Amino acid sequence: MNTQIVLASRPIGEPTLNDFRTVSTAIPKPAAGEVLLATKFLSLDPYMRGRMSATKSYAEPVALGGVMVGQTVSEVLESADPTYRTGEIVLSANGWQTHAVAPGKTLRKLDAEIAPVSYALGILGTPGKTAYCALLDIGRPKPGETVVVSAASGAVGSVAGQIAKIKGCRVVGIAGSDEKCTYVTDVLGFDQCINRRKADLPKALAQVCPNGIDVYFDNTAGTILTAVLGLINVGARIPLVGLIEHYNATALPAGPYLGPLLTNRAKIEGFLVSDHSAHSAAFARDVAGWMRDGKLHYKEDVLDGLDKAPQGLIGMLRGENFGKLIVRVS
Amino acid sequence: MNTQIVLASRPIGEPTLNDFRTVSTAIPKPAAGEVLLATKFLSLDPYMRGRMSATKSYAEPVALGGVMVGQTVSEVLESADPTYRTGEIVLSANGWQTHAVAPGKTLRKLDAEIAPVSYALGILGTPGKTAYCALLDIGRPKPGETVVVSAASGAVGSVAGQIAKIKGCRVVGIAGSDEKCTYVTDVLGFDQCINRRKADLPKALAQVCPNGIDVYFDNTAGTILTAVLGLINVGARIPLVGLIEHYNATALPAGPYLGPLLTNRAKIEGFLVSDHSAHSAAFARDVAGWMRDGKLHYKEDVLDGLDKAPQGLIGMLRGENFGKLIVRVS
């Protein structure tokens, strides 16, 4: 049987376990050009909270009763597409279920010899490419500049900060625990990391950014963005990549006062990775090279079993994960 | 004697007449390379409110007891710089006073044959160039796009909207009275204009922008920016040129929720005209040409006498002026 986790109700504020429901359906059969897949790993990402709401964003919401969406690393069980053979591992977007049929042309083969296949959900996939493109295309960091990264130990922030270090910047992370901060400085090599739960953020940021802030890689918006705006330099660039602080908001939240943008001729620019497919080759080449050279570190936070996915997403929105959150499904 | 208006106290919130003081001093003598000037016209602009506060912005505040700053059109009374002769009219920055000495090299000669000399304080000067550069460099309007302009009958907004029309856009203004709105549509040629004091702004904007908003030329920030963000299209550009709604704020105001920037991959970018001197020649050529062709209309709101300047600035921050506000000093 195919075990699926579907959207039972649209959450108001923080999702609860009751917003999800587990159902069993027959394992589907692949038609010509299709492949039957068994999910090995499911990616959990903050954007999924947006899909649980009725509001159309850049993508359609999940329907009530529909399978929760998500990228997966899957194994070919049966193929009606000559390109794929049983046992091959592919990147797909099968969502929160153990099995799925997908058109062969929507899949990408993964090679376990090059990197653990689950990395395709993180540093070698959408989160890594988000970090690479948003930092380089919008942030445009120059050597010696100060770059601040929120959610610094997460799937996107950890890569963005390490690339900024490779580009010769002074890099300051913001994370949610002392343990995460130690990882960010000692393993990822950021120059400083602030524990946002302990520090007076504007004061702590001013202390570790004596020359102001040139680039802020924004995964969170909210209070961190407000604190950063008080310290930006002339010509600062702020790629707006995530809104973690707001995903559970029940009313339209306020934002920061934008006066500092004017006085500093600075910009905030929204980013979606799907606009940047032109940079896929450069991303793959650069990130693979940096990993080979030991310049990029990566940490996974693995939950065992599809049934852990709902609590995993709820916890991620609270900042409870440590590293890229994935679910080992089989 | 030289009559000067100086900053008597730093306003909290809206300035009052008591924040200004009129003093008389001796008329200064020009040293070698300097020129003695009599002020003919003084420009009043919203940025002056910022200079009355102690906070350093992109420029130093006016000192307590110091002469209020501002651009002037002045007449040469006495010259110790061979470049200038008595009776010539120049653009200077002498501030709120009847006389001043200035180094010849800081002046620019004005030719009354080409345009009324006071236009150098408006459409042919800093406000016009602000409109031109912020719209074209950051807004980058394309034919058929929808451009919204706040403070649409003002010195900057009126020029920005007319240039957007010249570039083939559908242009919607926002202004503070029915009279201003009629001027904006019937004289300036905008497609629509919304009276922000009467309309439910989000609803009215949605009605006149059925295809969304591609460029928002923002002179105000605040509630208008919030309403606009609900309607922006993918790739929208928002030059942030002024913060009129906030200049009298006594505490750091909140800003808009920035989620729409992310979902639409849109940007807000601060603008200061002093960064754009490279475009001075193109600005002068284009705007002079458009005026000659009758494609650019311009309206001055003239106060008579330097003593009217304090109330003029106070009223401008309330939106009481209609057109570019200047003071005829002599």
* Ordered per-residue pLDDT tens for chain B, 330 residues: 999 999 999 999 999 999 999 999 999 999 999 999 999 999 999 999 999 999 877 889 999 999 999 999 999 999 999 999 999 999 999 999 999 999 999 999 999 998 999 999 999 999 999 999 999 999 999 999 999 999 999 999 999 999 999 999 999 999 999 999 999 999 999 999 999 999 899 999 999 999 999 999 999 999 999 999 999 999 999 999 998 888 888 888 889 999 999 999 999 999 999 898 888 899 999 999 999 999 999 999 999 999 999 999 999 999 999 999 999 999
Residues 6+ apart with CB under 8 A from A294: none
Distance CA(B219)–CA(B226), nearest Å, equals 13
Q: ipTM score here? A: 0.91
Residues of A in contact with B225 (CB under 8 A): 258
Residues of B in contact with A261 (CB under 8 A): 240, 268-270
A256/B259 CB distance under 8 A: no
Q: A307 is written with which tokens? A: 């049934």
B243/A256 CB distance under 8 A: no
Closest CA to B197 of B135, B148, B151: B151
Rounded to 10 degrees, the C-alpha dihedral A215/A217/A218/A219 comes to -170
Distance CA(A268)–CA(A258), nearest Å, equals 10
B246/A252 CB distance under 8 A: no
CB-side neighbour CA atoms (13 Å) of A139: 31
Distance CA(A153)–CA(A181), nearest Å, equals 8
CB-side neighbour CA atoms (13 Å) of B297: 15
Inter-helix orientation angle A201-208/A222-229, to 10°: 50
Residues 6+ apart with CB under 8 A from B267: A267, A268, A269, A270, B236, B237, B238, B261
CA A182 to chain B, closest CA, distance in angstroms equals 30
B263/A270 CB distance under 8 A: yes
Q: Is A299 helix (H, G, I), strand (E, B) or coil?
A: coil
Residues of B in contact with A271 (CB under 8 A): 262, 265
A246 vs B243, B259, B268: nearest CB: B259
Question: Could you tell me which chain A residue has the CA closest to the CA of B272?
Answer: A265
Chain centroid to Cα B291, Å, comes to 18
Q: A122 is written with which tokens? A: 């993180």
Q: Is B56 helix (H, G, I), strand (E, B) or coil?
A: coil
Long-range contacts of B174-181 (CB under 8 A, 24+ apart): B174/B148, B174/B149, B174/B150, B174/B201, B174/B224, B175/B151, B176/B319, B177/B322, B179/B322, B180/B152, B180/B153, B180/B322, B181/B153
**Do B103 and B42 form a contact (C-beta atoms < 8 A)?**
no
